[in-house]
């Protein structure tokens, strides 16, 4: 094997690592530890694309680096395998989702293994495995017992034409994805988790973690905590009242109407007969819209008056009550006081329906648009002359004294709707008695297995029903002479991913979800890498469960993930013609920048986009690994640019890193005859410059890995390899160290060369090299000498030259002296090792 042949080397070392269990997690629970985690994938039918391994390569580099630095490393992988695609495939073909899932997992695993990742596969988890979801059910019971899981009537996407409940992904613009039938929102009994009880802690504890500022911000905004006031509006001639939440109690005098959500329970009661038809028609119409259509997308506000009034507690006047779909039942109390002068949506509504608009904060022109800003309060009796902030306080006090309102905090975050009407999810460990009361399933009956069904689509009929209702033999059972019924909703896909990082710690424990001692050692996750698309939901849900477990004494840390990094998207050029996307394989570049469809000759528009099957721009790692090898692939993905940044894939550029590996290969081996390179010499050699460069490289690469700057780390190793290529003598002590540095990035070739160099133990067992600080510094440096910020000369001097001496030397330079002659020096700037700048005035 004279030449670098990845097809031989890579499988050889993968088999070696597997046989030797090189990456088995140490059992020891003492000494420094490092837990480095990937967001585990959903094993789809189409396999990995080159975007997946970007994050996995990054974590693998860190894992291998930390092992070499003496850490006990936990670096696991698993499968988030419940989910819609397998179920939809099952509905179409009748194949059990477990079978599809097993096939997809096998394919993903093959692909991951082909890339040489150092996962401890003994710790693999699969959320669909009963041994795993047993504990997902168990954690649900912990929430249930603490009163954090409750049943509520919540609307589902109900498609009468299909007679089935649809997932959000199956609804597009209010129509079913299949068949394009109308979808309405119909209430159904469902489990809800009380995440809002943790809202404040989910905000506050973000201070404890090292996460991208953008992710923290998104979480805070998602939780949407706002301070304001609950106000009670009384109804003339009735005992009932309407409670609203507002962040602007200062504008109460300007509230000229009220709006209830169409679903609001008081609507039926308050609507007089002559308005009932109009109200019913409007409610039916609103049920067909998603929340998004009702709020964000709505251009024209709609609504109808219900024919009843409420009393504004500030003015004492009656104001009309409307229903309108821009008010959601799920936010606040499902009712608002409308202040058209100072709220944009209220203004648009009032403008359209000719409802009076009253200015109560000065500074704008409320006849033209709502004025949101600060200003002095007007037309508001005892608030007049105050600014907005003071008026808020005074109004809250006034309302509290009169018992018609109080300060309140509201969240945009809703409690977590935890039921799905699907087959392929965790069954709830809940049973109902004959009276319909729910009870926890005894823990010794876990796991509650998914029953077999004949087909996997939800039952069709006149009412929404979960799929498991079809499993009638399973649903109803007798125990101790009583009739029972299992819960037939299943849990959402988020459930399994809320705690998988804990199961990795103790994945085979049959008695407990995890051992507390092991948890204490390994937690928290030190580094968590995954896509930015999980910035809110997955991370928020997992943090919520973690806090519940923390309160129960089951985990030892408040937060699960100490440092979070989002890898950037790997994008690729896609091509679009008048009939849609054309697969990249069918496109020719006839001249630079001109792309044509090879078959039709049509000129195509090229753009760089996220990879997607539908866009025909997906690149599979299988092809790249076969052609260039896993090492080149890993190296290229890291060399493309900063990890967090999105970067365009360009297969041609892999050539560069491949050549780098081939040059590294030739440092060690003679490609003509398979002997070691004759230029190899023992020790460090006698080229002082080269020795210095080696020390600098060790320092630089180490710092770059610590800072997750893999692209510049690779560049530094390329520099060293280029120097070694030029050097007449190739010192083994330098090459050995180079290989250890390169090993986390390109482990197969390093293991092979290490072996060829005659080492008895594998490079994966080696210790990270150290460097001498003294040898990383240059003795002589080039100083730039500027006058008024313009470079006028350079000056070579010892690196440790002090300011006075350096300035004196600079002034003595002929060119500089010319500029200083007859001028007044206002300022002398000395940047050690960099430059000198004289600021002068003539």
Cβ atoms of 247 and 347 closer than 8 Å: no
- Tell me if 842 contacts RNA by CB under 7 A: no
Q: Where are the alpha helices (DSSP H) in 727-794?
A: 732-742, 747-756
Each residue 275-294 as x (binds RNA by CB under 7 A) or -, in order, gives -----------------x--
Closest approach of Cβ 576 to RNA, in Å?
10
Q: How far apart are CA 584 and CA 579, in angstroms?
A: 15
> Is 25 in contact with 587 (CB distance < 8 Å)?
no
- Residue number, 213 or 678, with CB nearest to RNA: 213
The C-alpha atoms of residue 555 and residue 770 are separated, in whole angstroms, by 37
The residues, ordered by sequence, that sit 6+ positions from 821 with a Cβ below 8 Å of its Cβ are none
Nearer to RNA, 608 or 765 (CB): 608
Residue 535 binds RNA, judged by CB under 7 A: yes
Contact flag: residue 788 with RNA (CB under 7 A) = yes
Half-sphere CA count of 245, side-chain side, radius 13 A: 18
- Find how far residue 781's CA is from the centre of its chain: 45
Distance in angstroms (rounded) separating the CA atoms of residues 792 and 784: 8
What residues between 581 and 610 interact with RNA by CB under 7 A?
Answer: 592, 607-610
Which DSSP state fits 459? P
Q: Indicate the residue among 451 and 642 with the shorter CB distance to RNA.
A: 642
The verdict on 686 binding RNA (CB under 7 A) reads: no
Q: What is the sign of the dihedral through the CA atoms of 589, 590, 596 and 597?
A: negative
Task: Find the shortest distance in angstroms from Cβ 609 to RNA.
Answer: 4
Q: Does 84 bind RNA (CB under 7 A)?
A: no
**785: nearest Cα among 757, 826, 755, 819:** 819
Q: Which residue's entry shows tokens 């002479």?
A: 481
776 counts as binding RNA under rule CB under 7 A = no
Q: Which is nearer to RNA, 238 or 791 (CB)?
A: 791
Question: Is the CB of 266 or the CB of 690 nearer to RNA?
Answer: 690
> Is-cis flag, bond preceding 75, omega within 30?
no
**Site for RNA contains 711 (CB under 7 A):** yes
Q: Which of 94, 794, 800, 804 binds RNA (CB under 7 A)?
A: 794
- State in angstroms the smallest separation of the CB of 810 from RNA: 13
CA atoms within 13 A on the CB side of 19: 7
Query: Looking only at residues 541 through 570 of this chain, which bind RNA when binding is defined by CB under 7 A?
Result: 569
Q: Is 722 in the site for RNA (CB under 7 A)?
A: yes
Considering only residues 608 to 667 of the shown chain, the ones binding RNA according to CB under 7 A are: 608-610, 639-642, 645-648, 650, 652-653, 655-657, 659-660, 662-663, 666
719, 775, 797, 823: residue in contact with RNA (rule CB under 7 A): 719
Q: Which of 36, 106, 57, 77 is nearest to 631 (CA)?
A: 57
Distances (CA, A) of 666 to 134, 288, 733: 54, 68, 16
Closest of 84, 49, 50 to residue 636, by C-alpha: 50
- Show the binding pattern over residues 798-837: x = contacts RNA (CB under 7 A), - = does not: -----------------------------x-x-x--xx-x
Site string for RNA, 493-522 (x = CB under 7 A): ------------------------------
Give the residue with the Cβ less far from RNA, 93 or 725. 725
State yes or no: 613 annotated in a binding site: yes
Closest contact distance (angstroms) between CB of 168 and RNA is 8
How remote is the C-alpha of 822 from its chain's centroid?
Answer: 63
Number of residues that bind RNA (CB under 7 A): 61
Q: If residue 605 lies in a helix (H) or strand (E), which one and from where to where?
A: strand 603-610
In 759-833, alpha helices (H):
803-812, 814-820
DSSP structural state of residue 112: H
Binding site for RNA (CB under 7 A): 213-214, 217-218, 292, 296, 532-533, 535-536, 569, 571, 592, 607-610, 639-642, 645-648, 650, 652-653, 655-657, 659-660, 662-663, 666, 709, 711-712, 714-716, 718-719, 722, 725-726, 782, 784, 786, 788-789, 791, 794, 827, 829, 831, 834-835, 837, 839
Residues annotated in the binding site for ATP, as ranges?
Answer: 613
Residues annotated in the binding site, as ranges?
Answer: 613
């Amino acid at each position: 094997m004279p030449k670098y042949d990845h097809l031989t080397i890579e499988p050889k070392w993968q088999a070696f690592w597997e046989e030797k269990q090189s990456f088995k997690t140490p059992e020891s629970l003492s000494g420094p530890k490092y837990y480095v985690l990937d967001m585990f994938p959903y094993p789809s039918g189409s396999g990995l694309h080159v975007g997946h391994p970007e994050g996995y390569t990054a974590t693998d580099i860190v894992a291998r680096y930390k092992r070499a630095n003496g850490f006990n490393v936990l670096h696991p992988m698993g499968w988030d395998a419940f989910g819609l695609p397998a179920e939809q495939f099952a509905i179409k073909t009748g194949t059990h989702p477990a079978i599809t899932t097993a096939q997809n997992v096998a394919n993903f695993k093959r692909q991951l293994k082909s890339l040489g990742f150092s996962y401890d596969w003994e710790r693999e988890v699969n959320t669909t495995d009963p041994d795993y979801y047993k504990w997902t059910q168990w954690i649900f019971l912990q929430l249930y017992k603490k009163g954090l899981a409750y049943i509520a009537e919540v609307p589902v996407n109900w498609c009468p034409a299909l007679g089935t409940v649809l997932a959000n992904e199956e609804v597009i613009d209010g129509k079913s994805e299949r068949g394009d039938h109308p979808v309405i929102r119909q209430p159904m009994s469902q489990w809800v988790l009380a995440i809002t009880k943790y809202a404040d802690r989910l905000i506050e504890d973000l201070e404890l973690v090292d996460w991208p500022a953008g992710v923290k911000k998104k979480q805070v905004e998602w939780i949407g905590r706002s301070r304001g006031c609950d106000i009670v509006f009384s109804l003339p001639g009735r005992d009932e009242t309407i409670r609203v939440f507002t962040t602007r109690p200062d504008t109460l005098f300007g509230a000229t109407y009220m709006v209830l959500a169409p679903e609001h329970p008081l609507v039926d009661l308050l609507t007089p007969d002559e308005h009932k038809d109009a109200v019913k028609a409007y409610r039916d119409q609103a049920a067909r819209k998603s929340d998004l259509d009702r709020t964000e997308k709505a251009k024209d506000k709609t609504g109808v008056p219900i024919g009843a009034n409420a009393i504004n507690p500030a003015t004492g006047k009656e104001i009309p009550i409307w229903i309108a779909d821009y008010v959601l039942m799920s936010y606040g109390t499902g009712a608002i006081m409308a202040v058209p002068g100072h709220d944009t949506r209220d203004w648009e509504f009032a403008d359209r329906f000719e409802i009076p608009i009253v200015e109560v904060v000065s500074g704008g022109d409320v006849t033209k648009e709502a004025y949101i800003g600060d200003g002095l309060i007007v037309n508001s009796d005892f608030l007049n002359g105050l600014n907005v902030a003071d008026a808020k306080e005074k109004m809250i006090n006034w309302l509290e004294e009169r018992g018609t309102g109080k300060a309140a905090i509201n969240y945009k975050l809703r409690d977590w709707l935890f039921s799905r009407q699907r087959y392929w999810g965790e069954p709830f460990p809940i049973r109902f008695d004959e009276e319909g009361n729910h009870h926890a399933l005894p823990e010794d009956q876990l796991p509650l297995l998914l029953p077999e069904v004949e087909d996997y689509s939800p039952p069709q009929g006149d009412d929404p029903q979960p799929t498991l209702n079809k499993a009638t033999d399973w649903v109803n059972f007798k125990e101790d002479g009583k009739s029972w019924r299992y819960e037939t909703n299943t849990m959402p896909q988020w459930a399994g991913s809320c705690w998988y990082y804990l199961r990795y710690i103790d994945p085979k424990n049959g008695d407990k979800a995890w051992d507390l001692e092991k948890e204490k050692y390994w937690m928290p996750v030190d580094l968590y890498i995954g896509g930015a698309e999980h910035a809110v939901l997955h991370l928020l849900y997992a943090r919520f469960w973690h806090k519940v477990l923390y309160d129960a004494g089951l985990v030892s840390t408040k937060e699960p993930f100490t440092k979070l990094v989002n890898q950037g998207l790997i994008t690729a050029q896609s091509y679009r013609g008048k009939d849609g996307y054309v697969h990249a394989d069918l496109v020719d570049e006839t001249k630079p920048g001109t792309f044509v469809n090879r078959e039709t000759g049509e000129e195509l528009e090229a753009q760089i986009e996220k990879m997607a099957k539908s866009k025909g721009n997906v690149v599979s790692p299988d092809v790249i690994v076969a052609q260039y090898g896993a090492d080149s692939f890993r190296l290229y993905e890291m060399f493309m640019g900063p990890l967090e940044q999105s970067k365009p894939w360009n297969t041609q550029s892999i050539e560069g890193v491949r050549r780098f590996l081939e040059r590294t290969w030739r440092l060690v081996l003679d490609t003509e005859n398979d002997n070691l390179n004759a230029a190899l010499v023992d020790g460090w050699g006698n080229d002082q410059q080269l020795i210095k460069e080696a020390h600098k490289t060790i320092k630089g690469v180490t710092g770059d890995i610590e800072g997750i700057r893999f692209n510049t780390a690779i560049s530094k190793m390329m520099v060293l390899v280029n120097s070694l290529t030029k050097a007449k003598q190739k010192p083994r002590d330098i090459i050995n160290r180079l290989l250890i540095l390169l090993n986390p990035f390109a482990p197969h070739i390093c293991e092979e060369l290490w072996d060829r160099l005659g080492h008895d133990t594998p490079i994966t067992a080696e210790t990270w090299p150290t460097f001498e600080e003294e040898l990383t510094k240059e003795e002589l440096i080039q100083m730039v000498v500027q006058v008024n910020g313009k470079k006028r000369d350079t000056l070579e001097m010892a690196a440790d030259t002090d300011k006075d001496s350096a300035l004196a030397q600079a002034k003595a330079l002929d060119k500089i002296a010319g500029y200083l002659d007859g001028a007044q020096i206002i300022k002398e700037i000395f940047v050690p090792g960099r430059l000198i700048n004289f600021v002068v005035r003539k």
